[in-house]
Amino acid sequence: MDNYSVHNKMKLGFGLMRLPKLEDGSIDVAQTADMVDLFLEAGGTYFDTAFAYPGSEEAIRKALVERYPRDSYTLATKLICNADIRSEEDAKKEFETSLERTNAGYFDYYLLHALQRTNYFKYDEYHLWDFVKEMKEKGLIRHYGFSFHGDPALLEELLEKHPDVDFVQLQINYADWENPGVASKTNLEICRKHGKPVVVMEPVKGGILADPIDTVKEIFDQMSTGLSYASWAVRFVAGQEGILVVLSGMSSLEQMKDNLSYMKDFEPLNEEEMKTIERAQQAISEDKTIACTACHYCTKGCPMNIPIPEIFNVENRKKGSPEFRTKREYVIVTTGKGKASDCIACGQCEAACPQHLPIISLLEKCRIFEG
Residues that bind ligand SF4 (CB under 6 A): 292-298, 302-304, 306, 308-309, 343-349, 352-353, 355, 357, 359-360, 363
Name the minimum Å distance from CB 359 to ligand SF4.
5
Name the minimum Å distance from CB 313 to ligand SF4.
9
Question: 79: which strand partners?
Answer: 112
Name the minimum Å distance from CB 1 to ligand SF4.
31
Nearer to ligand SF4, 260 or 292 (CB): 292
Count CB neighbours of 359 within 10 A. Answer: 27
Q: Where are the alpha helices (DSSP H) in the chain?
A: 4-7, 29-41, 56-60, 88-102, 120-125, 128-137, 152-161, 184-193, 214-222, 229-238, 253-263, 271-285, 308-317, 323-334, 348-352, 359-366
Q: Say how far apart CA 210 and CA 327 lie, in whole Å.
A: 26
Nearer to ligand SF4, 41 or 211 (CB): 211
Name the minimum Å distance from CB 180 to ligand SF4.
16
Name the minimum Å distance from CB 13 to ligand SF4.
21
Nearer to ligand SF4, 65 or 115 (CB): 115
Q: Say how far apart CA 339 and CA 349 lie, in whole Å.
A: 14
Q: Say how far apart CA 200 and CA 203 lie, in whole Å.
A: 7
Name the minimum Å distance from CB 351 to ligand SF4.
9
Q: Say how far apart CA 216 and CA 241 lie, in whole Å.
A: 25
Nearer to ligand SF4, 166 or 329 (CB): 329
110 neighbors 132 (Cβ within 8 angstroms): yes
* Angular region, 320: left φ>0, alpha ψ -120 to 50, beta rest: left
Alpha carbons within 13 angstroms on the beta-carbon side of residue 197 total 17
Nearer to ligand SF4, 133 or 296 (CB): 296
Nearer to ligand SF4, 197 or 309 (CB): 309
Nearer to ligand SF4, 91 or 353 (CB): 353
Q: Say how far apart CA 287 and CA 216 lie, in whole Å.
A: 10
Nearer to ligand SF4, 75 or 114 (CB): 114
Name the minimum Å distance from CB 302 to ligand SF4.
3
Name the minimum Å distance from CB 259 to ligand SF4.
22
86 neighbors 92 (Cβ within 8 angstroms): no
